[in-house]
């Protein structure tokens, strides 16, 4: 089975999460969200990424299916630019009932993010996919459609966003990215949400096309060395 029942839900399911992804704060859009050059780089990068995804799809799919029951791809509603909800795509790295068992797992992170370094919901193959970041490759489709960018902030879940204060909302002034300051500066080693927000706001202050390119190059190095991955 390629898709789970969740993936086959009607598009209207997005609107059921809109309330948690919205805010009364008048959130202006960062200049990077309007950059045509950034968008061109995103499209080129997405096409390259999707080509690689096609090449690795069959071996990754076989490994996922042999390791555990469930779909090959996993999708989840996330909050993007200005809190707009969208459906993110990944190779499934957890057991099929992981979302239902989230409340049974201890959150080792501080603030409005969730992380457990020994999460029992992650499959054996899933650990490999996460260490190598192969689970992220289907997100190049989100980049191609314009819901995400190659570089930005990691898109939060609606249940995280509903607790945001005004400072936290500022991180959603940019498009969510496959990589960004958080991935380059620690990845899963950063477990304090306030530090994640500081990194995201720092990215907005530093942003330029060349800075995006430098983060993409740095991300490739981090992934190859598996720095900060669990």
pLDDT score at 218: 92
Q: What single DSSP character describes residue 190?
A: -
**How much is the average pLDDT of 49-74?**
95
Q: Which residue reads 């054996």 in tokens?
A: 124
Retrieve residue 45's tokens.
């990068």
Mean pLDDT check: name the lowest of 123-127, 171-175, 181-185.
181-185
| CA angle centred on 41, ends 35 and 42, rounded to 5° | 85
Strands (E), 8-115: 73-79, 85-91
Retrieve residue 208's tokens.
């330029």
Residue 84 pLDDT exceeds 60: yes
What distance, in Å, lies between the first and last C-alpha atoms of the chain?
27
pLDDT score at 110: 84
Retrieve residue 29's tokens.
């859009």
Under 8 Å between Cβ of 199 and 182:
yes
The contacts of residue 165 (CB under 8 Å, 6+ apart) are none
Gap between the Cα atoms of 13 and 210, Å rounded: 38
pLDDT tens, position by position, 212-226: 999 999 998 888 876
Under 8 Å between Cβ of 21 and 116:
no
pLDDT interval class at 12 (50, 70, 90): very low
Gap between the Cα atoms of 119 and 57, Å rounded: 25
Under 8 Å between Cβ of 87 and 10:
no
Please, what is the average pLDDT of the chain?
A: 87
pLDDT tens, position by position, 102-129: 888 887 778 788 888 888 899 999 999 9
């Amino acid at each position: 089975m390629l898709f789970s029942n969740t993936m086959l839900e009607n598009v209207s399911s997005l609107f059921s999460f809109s309330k948690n992804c919205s805010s009364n704060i008048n959130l202006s859009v960062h200049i990077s969200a309007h950059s045509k050059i950034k968008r061109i780089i995103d499209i080129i990068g997405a096409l390259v990424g999707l080509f690689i995804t096609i090449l690795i799809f069959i071996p990754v799919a076989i490994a996922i299916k042999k390791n555990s029951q469930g779909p090959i791809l996993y999708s989840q509603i996330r909050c993007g630019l200005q809190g707009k909800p969208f459906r993110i795509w990944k190779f499934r790295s957890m057991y099929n009932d992981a979302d239902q068992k989230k409340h049974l797992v201890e959150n080792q992170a501080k603030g409005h993010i969730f992380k457990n370094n020994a999460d029992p919901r992650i499959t054996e193959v899933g650990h490999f996919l996460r260490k190598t970041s192969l689970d992220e490759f289907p997100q190049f489709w989100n980049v191609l459609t314009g819901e995400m960018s190659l570089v930005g902030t990691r898109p939060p879940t609606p249940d995280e966003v509903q607790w945001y204060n005004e400072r936290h909302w500022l991180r959603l002034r940019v498009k969510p990215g496959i990589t960004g300051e958080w991935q380059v500066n620690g990845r899963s080693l950063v477990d304090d949400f306030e530090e994640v927000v500081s990194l995201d706001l720092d990215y907005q202050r530093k942003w330029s096309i060349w800075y995006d390119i430098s983060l993409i190059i740095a991300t490739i190095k981090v992934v190859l060395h598996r720095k900060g991955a669990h």
